Amino acid sequence: MKPLLLAALALLIAGPAAAATAAAPGTAAVSDAVRIVVPDRNIARGDVIAASDLSYESVAPIRASGGVATQLDQLAGKQARLFLRAGEPVLVNNVRAPILVTKGSTVTVTFNAPGISLTAIGKAMSEGGMGETVTVLNPVSYRQISATVTGPGTVSAGSLTATVAADPAPAELAAIQ
C-alpha cells in the first residue's frame, strides 16, 4: 500500500508528465529489463530438463543477479538438483550434468599412457555426471583414486605423459664418478 501512496504523491508533485514515465512498483522499464530463462512447467528434482521445458522472460535486473540462467544451454540437457517452479528464475547451481555413475555401482576404469592402455573394474564411492570427478575404490588393493566420468559406467583415471631424461652434462658425469 505504501508504494502506491508514494507513487500518487509523486504524481501530484511532478504532474501528469511524470505519470507517463513512472513504472508500476515491482516492474522494470523495457530498457532496464534483463532476459532470463525460466521453466514453462514445474520440474521435479532429478528430472532431465528439455529445451521445450524452458522459455525466456524479461525481468527487473535485481531478479537476474546471483547466477541466474540467462541462456537455454545453461539448463537444457541438465538434471534438476531440486524442485524448479514454473516461471521462477533458476540458478545455474541448481542443475547438474545427468548422473552417469551412481554410488556403489561397478565401473570400468581406464588408464592411458603413451603406448599402453589399462582397463580395470572398480566400485564407485560417489556419483557423478559427464566430466565430473568421482572417487573409485580398487577392490583388490582397497585404494581409492579420483577419476573423471567419461560415459555411463565408465571413468578415466587420467594419463601420464612420457618424460625422457636428457643426457647429463659432462660436469655432472665427473661429479657422479
Q: What is the CATH number for 134? A: 2.30.30.760
Q: What is the pTM of this model?
A: 0.57
**pLDDT attached to residue 35:** 93
Residues 85 and 104 in one domain: no
Please indicate, yes or no, if residue 54 is contained in any of the structural domains: yes
Number of domains in the chain: 2
> Which triple of cell numbers denotes residue 117?
592402455
Determine if residue 115 is left, alpha or beta; phi over 0 gives left, psi from -120 to 50 gives alpha, anything else beta: left
Residues 114 and 75 in one domain: no
Cβ-in-10-Å burial (0-12, 13-18, 19+) of 130 comes to middle
Residues 87 and 135 in one domain: no
Please indicate, yes or no, if residue 123 is contained in any of the structural domains: yes
- Successive 10-residue mean pLDDT values, the chain, 177 residues: 50 46 49 88 94 93 86 93 94 92 96 91 94 94 95 84 46 48
**pLDDT attached to residue 148:** 95
Residues 103 and 92 in one domain: no
Among candidate residues 145, 170, 58, 159, the one with its CA nearest the CA of residue 116: 159
Question: Please, what is the Cα angle at 138 between 162 and 100, to 5 degrees?
Answer: 90
Find the CATH number of the domain harbouring 41: 3.90.1210.10
Please indicate, yes or no, if residue 177 is contained in any of the structural domains: no
Can you give the residue range of the structural domain that contains 145? Answer: 99-159
Residues 108 and 50 in one domain: no
**pLDDT attached to residue 3:** 53
